[in-house]
Amino acid sequence: MAVTKIFELEDVEKHNTEKDLWMVLWGNVYDISSFVDEHPGGVDTLLEEAGGDGTQQFEGVGHSDSAKKLCEKYLIGELSEDAKAALAAKSGSGKGMNPAVIAVVIAALAAILYFVFGE
């Protein structure tokens, strides 16, 4: 069994350019520098997540099974357990409704109530 190289988030964050692009997907680290020009979605979509965790964006786009399989070619290691926990905590903190959205909804409801019941 091959030994898996372990990376910290700081290691991945250093590789955030078109010529040197690493990305985290599912807790694994991928060096996709040689794939950038081949990416069907273009360079810009990769650069948005360069040096960081692109799991949500990758899954959100609905990549095919063959795209997921292609990732194996670029796998160079995985994040440390501490780094995985930090990413999980970070992604968990983004859940829920944005306070600005809540404020708009409340204002809209207040306006509706005013026009229906107010005079």
pLDDT digits (tens, 9 = 90+) for 66-112: 888 999 999 999 999 999 999 888 876 544 445 666 766 676 677 67
Structural contact between residues 8 and 80, judged by C-beta atoms closer than 8 angstroms: yes
Residues whose CB is less than 8 angstroms from the CB of residue 6 and which lie 6 or more positions away in sequence, other chains included: 77, 78, 79, 80
Between CA 101 and CA 83 the distance in angstroms is 31
> Bridge partners of 81?
none
The pLDDT-based confidence of 1 (bands split at 50, 70, 90) is very low
So what's the pLDDT on residue 2?
A: 62
Residues 28-75: tens digit of each pLDDT: 999 999 999 999 888 999 999 999 999 999 888 888 888 889 999 999
Cβ–Cβ contacts within 10 Å for residue 24, how many? Answer: 24
3-state secondary structure of 44: helix
